């Protein structure tokens, strides 16, 4: 059994989809900075569980 779940989010800079592994015990309701896998720009992520599944909010680091 896997402890993480695969998810995707869209880069707010280049609009490319990025892959993300979410660990329910450590990543839910956490804010993190990741680099886009395509354009390497910093992306601020907020990962939450909205009751219907995982929600990933991705925004530019400079917003």
> CA 34, CA 61: separation in Å to the nearest integer?
10
54 forms beta bridges with 49
Per-residue pLDDT, 2: 60
The answer on pLDDT for 35 being more than 80 is yes
Is the entire prediction scored with pTM above 0.85?
no
Q: Which of 3 and 45 is assigned the larger pLDDT?
A: 45
Per-residue pLDDT, 25: 84
Assigned token pair, 29: 């309701």
Question: What percentage of residues in the chain have a pLDDT greater than 90?
Answer: 67
List the chain domain ranges: 4-60
Per-residue pLDDT, 41: 96
The burial class, CB within 10 Å (0-12 / 13-18 / 19+), for 27 is buried
């Amino acid at each position: 059994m896997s402890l993480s779940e695969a998810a995707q989010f869209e880069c707010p800079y280049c609009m490319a989809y990025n892959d993300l592994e979410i660990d329910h015990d450590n990543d839910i309701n956490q804010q993190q900075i990741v680099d886009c896998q395509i354009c390497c720009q910093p992306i601020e992520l907020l990962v939450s569980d909205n009751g219907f599944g995982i929600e990933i909010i991705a925004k530019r680091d400079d917003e």
